[in-house]
Structure 1
Amino acid sequence: MRPTEQHLVPVRPALFDAFPCPRCGATDVHAEGTFFPGIHILGRYGCASCGAKFLRDLPVGFANDHPLAIMEEDGKVIHGPEAPSWLVHPFTEHAGRISEDPVRIERIIHREVRTAIVLNTLDFLYGHVLLKIYNAQHYLDHHPEHGLVMIVPRMFAWLVPRTCAEVWVVDLGLGRSRTWYRAMDDFVQAQLGRFDTVLLGRAYSHPDFAKVDIERFTGVAPFAHAHMPDRPLHVTFVARTDRIWTTTRLSKFLYRAMGRLFGRRAAQGPFHALQERAIRRSIRRIRRKEPDATFSIVGLAPSGRSSMGVEDLRTLHMDERMEKVWCAAYARSHVVVGVHGSNMLLPTAHAGACVEILPHDREENIVQDISVRVADRRQLFLYRFLDEFAKPRDIARVVHAIHVHYAQFHRNHVGNIF
């Protein structure tokens, strides 16, 4: 069956089958069922021309662009030439070994529905899960005739919008999510029969952030850009311990060399101290320009020292309360500062602007981790990217410029135009 709506994939009563056979290329493929082992949602198919039997990704998540298939007769995995290795290797590793481990899944029903859109947000990377969750708003707003059913890891359950029809909360950590679980499929198959119609949300990896109302997910209203000029500057630093801000080529070389020789954790200690010094120097330089500025520091790390005007919110123990404390800090912030990564998605969804330190080996991923809140020319003004060897003086200069020049930029490029 072909999709009747671009952003939905049919599952029940008729399963999507609008693609050629991966072995012979014939188009007379017939659907035989579905398989929901975890991250991947697959259809079971047969080819009337060559007789092949295979499982193939349904076009959701990264399979929108890179669908993978596995032939039942020999277990061969078939994929396009552009499919990334980080997607192919886990699929190949786990496709032939279905885990019999139990998986606890909690079903939360807010209202009973007969037609459902199932949005699967499971993934093995934090940012991927969060980006898929953002898709919920589109289906809630544009398809109110269907009930939205979200499949989420437990650590993300706090982000599920309250207007969803159901939530299937899966007790799997990110590290265990690559595995294919028979228990997961058994649970989903038992639920699908409750609905007359089942469609899949596409779970796009890069939704239009400017359309996302983050308060519907976190319960925290974002920074209002109207207050950018008239409030004393507040800046939040997002301090990662697994991707360090190295201000020189030598420190980056030593950090990576120590990581290879002694393990990443052994290398983090001394270089975490260097990053801490860079953050404190940035704060001092910003204060020279704006004495009334205040600051927050967040990150999965031992809490440091809080001082006058600097609130240290780092912790090693995250829970829903702490997630919201961090979001509140972002929402007070004119600017958030941090190294590129999924750690920047929620900060930029709430803050007024950002300064991101972009490692050279992440340049192809630029903007993927930024929840760009505006759709006009302010995108170029509010979202700044600095070289991975940026110095504290560079951070201070750009943060200050965003704060003091925003009103003029807004007047010239947003206010005084047709």
Structure 2
Amino acid sequence: MNDTMHDPHLVPLDPSGWTHVRCPACGSSDVDTSGVVTPGIHMMGDHSCRSCGYEFLLDLPVGFGVQHPMAIGRSDGRLHNPGDGGAWIHGPLLEGFRAPDDRPVRIERIVHRECREVVFLNTLDFLYGHVLLKLFNAHHYLEERPDLGLVLLVPRMFAWMVPEGVAEVWLVDLKLSQLHGWYTDLDRQVREGLAGFGTVFFGKGYAHPDHVPIDIARFTGQQPFPMERFLEEPPHVTFIAREDRLWFRSPLSKFLFRATHPLGLRKLLARLWVSDQDRLMRGTMKAIRREFPGVSFTVAGLGRPGGFGGLAEDLRTLQMDEATERRWCAAYGRSQFVIGLHGSNMLLPTAHAGGCIEVLPYDRYENFVQDVAVRYADVMQLFLYRFVDEFATPRQVARHALSMFRDFRTYYRNNRTNVF
């Protein structure tokens, strides 16, 4: 137990093991704790200061609370944000706190094996990529803490990705778009559920876990592309496309697209830019195929299928389900690399494919590589993960793709074969 109490990747439910609590009003560490509230994304200690009497909720160091812990005054509703967390964190938090939702929330509890000592990992979030990244934390606890049963709190749409080996899964019947709320019934059920265990720790739920050791097949059932067979497997490239975030031909094209929103013309005219994105992808495919005629292509992502004819297998759809997710993962797993625009839509593709070429918008430089599940810890990552300008032409993107096929043998020999 001593080793467990000193594990930096665990937070005990028992507040006697907490070292992060100080009163946000006066700074005192002489604080009483009455429990933990879990109304959704956030897990917060419920505290009162013995020195000044201030009552407050304070983020546990889990999820985004690791880097951006926030506190809310119980009586004054004041936000304390010493870590300068962004509005995308504190906005939904405050909104939910000020207008709690008392509706019943269905949680299906699936018990695979009974455990008394557990680590509870909250993966809830209103953004797809955030849930996925938190869920990937499960790998660490399954591998490094087999002495603790892993209990996952997961949105139901991610049930298909729950890895083998967990002790329990708590499936929450809320859509991602609803998970910014403050649900009193969710909090009640989590409290009651945790009370049934002997010892409880909370998993950190790091926002950006190391992807290298993660066995993605444990989550999706799909083996990733075997990098050592890069040139032996049939050449295949998957393009990741979505309609709400686009690859633009030029700064003018992007400006005009953005101008449609305030003018109320987005729905009417958006198809023009989606069609142009299709043309950019087709141009890239044709440029690759001119030099490597045997390359096959797949297009995957949220969008209307059509427009590629016999050039590519088009798996795009507007109706997501488990079967679609698995078809997409199968395409990623047979791809030497994937090509797509920056976003959470690149996480599963890069977790399975051999590498990627990402179109990176200027306003996403701060989020560089956050959406890429880098599979290699050595210099192979410099060769297999490439980033191009947001207005890159099909020829420029194809140039990288051709290099990856043409130069892989030499790069692999120099950096994987002929080394100590």
CA deviation after TM superposition for structure 1 residue 309, in Å: 5.4
- Tell me the equivalent position of 2:108: 106
Contact 2:299–2:314 (CA<8 Å) still a contact in 1? yes
Q: Deviations over 1:329-376 (max 9, x none)?
A: 000101100000000000000000100000010011110000000000
Q: Deviations over 1:27-50 (max 9, x none)?
A: 112211111100001111121211
CA deviation after TM superposition for structure 1 residue 279, in Å: 0.8
Matches within 5 A, 1:97-176: 97-176=99-178
1:301 alignment partner, one of 284, 300, 303? 303
Q: Deviations over 1:280-312 (max 9, x none)?
A: 111111110100110000111122156445211
Q: Deviations over 1:396-417 (max 9, x none)?
A: 1111111121111011122222
Measured in 2, the distance between the counterparts of 1:265 and 1:162 equals 42
1:365 alignment partner, one of 363, 367, 376? 367
Measured in 2, the distance between the counterparts of 1:277 and 1:309 equals 12
CA deviation after TM superposition for structure 1 residue 263, in Å: 5.1
CA deviation after TM superposition for structure 1 residue 81, in Å: 5.0
2:56 alignment partner, one of 49, 54, 57? 54
CA deviation after TM superposition for structure 1 residue 84, in Å: 1.2
1:22 alignment partner, one of 24, 43, 46? 24
Of 96-105 and 205-214, more deviation after overlay is shown by: 96-105
1:374 alignment partner, one of 373, 376, 379? 376
Measured in 1, the distance between the counterparts of 2:325 and 2:216 equals 14
Measured in 2, the distance between the counterparts of 1:115 and 1:264 equals 52
Measured in 2, the distance between the counterparts of 1:308 and 1:35 equals 54
* Distance of aligned partners of 1:171 and 1:15 in 2 relative to their CA distance in 1, 3 Å threshold: farther
- Tell me the equivalent position of 2:348: 346
Whether 1:236 and 2:238 are equivalent positions in the alignment is: yes
2:179 alignment partner, one of 177, 180, 183? 177
Measured in 2, the distance between the counterparts of 1:252 and 1:309 equals 26
Q: TM-score, normalization: structure 1? A: 0.97
* Distance of aligned partners of 1:264 and 1:9 in 2 relative to their CA distance in 1, 3 Å threshold: farther
How many percent identity over aligned positions? 49
CA deviation after TM superposition for structure 1 residue 72, in Å: 1.4
Letter of the 2:69 counterpart: P
Query: What is the total number of aligned residue pairs between the two structures?
Result: 418
Contact 2:282–2:308 (CA<8 Å) still a contact in 1? no
Measured in 1, the distance between the counterparts of 2:88 and 2:15 equals 33
Letter of the 2:370 counterpart: Q
Contact 1:17–1:31 (CA<8 Å) still a contact in 2? no
- Tell me the equivalent position of 2:225: 223
SS for the counterpart of 1:209 is coil
- Tell me the equivalent position of 1:205: 207
Q: Deviations over 1:45-85 (max 9, x none)?
A: 12121121111111100000111111112111111152112
Whether 1:331 and 2:333 are equivalent positions in the alignment is: yes
1:33 alignment partner, one of 29, 32, 35? 35
Letter of the 2:125 counterpart: D
SS for the counterpart of 2:261 is helix
Contact 1:259–1:266 (CA<8 Å) still a contact in 2? no
* Distance of aligned partners of 1:162 and 1:264 in 2 relative to their CA distance in 1, 3 Å threshold: farther
Measured in 2, the distance between the counterparts of 1:309 and 1:273 equals 15
SS for the counterpart of 1:296 is strand
Measured in 1, the distance between the counterparts of 2:409 and 2:31 equals 59
Measured in 2, the distance between the counterparts of 1:119 and 1:81 equals 23
How big is the alpha-carbon RMSD for the aligned residues of Structure 1 and Structure 2? Answer: 1.6
CA deviation after TM superposition for structure 1 residue 26, in Å: 1.1
CA deviation after TM superposition for structure 1 residue 317, in Å: 1.1
Whether 1:386 and 2:388 are equivalent positions in the alignment is: yes
Measured in 2, the distance between the counterparts of 1:306 and 1:363 equals 31
The ranges of structure 1 where at least 4 consecutive aligned residues each deviate by more than 6 angstroms after the TM superposition are none
Contact 1:296–1:329 (CA<8 Å) still a contact in 2? yes
CA deviation after TM superposition for structure 1 residue 92, in Å: 1.6
Runs of at least 5 residues in structure 1 that lack an aligned partner in the other structure: none
Measured in 2, the distance between the counterparts of 1:18 and 1:79 equals 14
Runs of at least 5 residues in structure 2 that lack an aligned partner in the other structure: none
Letter of the 1:320 counterpart: E
Letter of the 1:33 counterpart: G
Q: Deviations over 1:193-228 (max 9, x none)?
A: 110101000000100011111000000000001111
Measured in 2, the distance between the counterparts of 1:42 and 1:415 equals 50
Letter of the 2:96 counterpart: H
* Distance of aligned partners of 1:9 and 1:263 in 2 relative to their CA distance in 1, 3 Å threshold: farther
Q: TM-score, normalization: structure 2? A: 0.97
Letter of the 1:30 counterpart: D
Measured in 2, the distance between the counterparts of 1:383 and 1:183 equals 44
* Distance of aligned partners of 1:110 and 1:14 in 2 relative to their CA distance in 1, 3 Å threshold: farther
CA deviation after TM superposition for structure 1 residue 17, in Å: 5.0
SS for the counterpart of 2:13 is strand
CA deviation after TM superposition for structure 1 residue 19, in Å: 2.5
Measured in 1, the distance between the counterparts of 2:323 and 2:105 equals 26
Whether 1:291 and 2:293 are equivalent positions in the alignment is: yes
Measured in 2, the distance between the counterparts of 1:18 and 1:334 equals 45
CA deviation after TM superposition for structure 1 residue 230, in Å: 2.1
Of 63-72 and 225-234, more deviation after overlay is shown by: 225-234
Matches within 5 A, 1:274-289: 274-289=276-291
SS for the counterpart of 1:88 is helix
Letter of the 2:232 counterpart: D
Measured in 2, the distance between the counterparts of 1:258 and 1:149 equals 46
1:256 alignment partner, one of 253, 258, 264? 258
Measured in 1, the distance between the counterparts of 2:263 and 2:277 equals 21
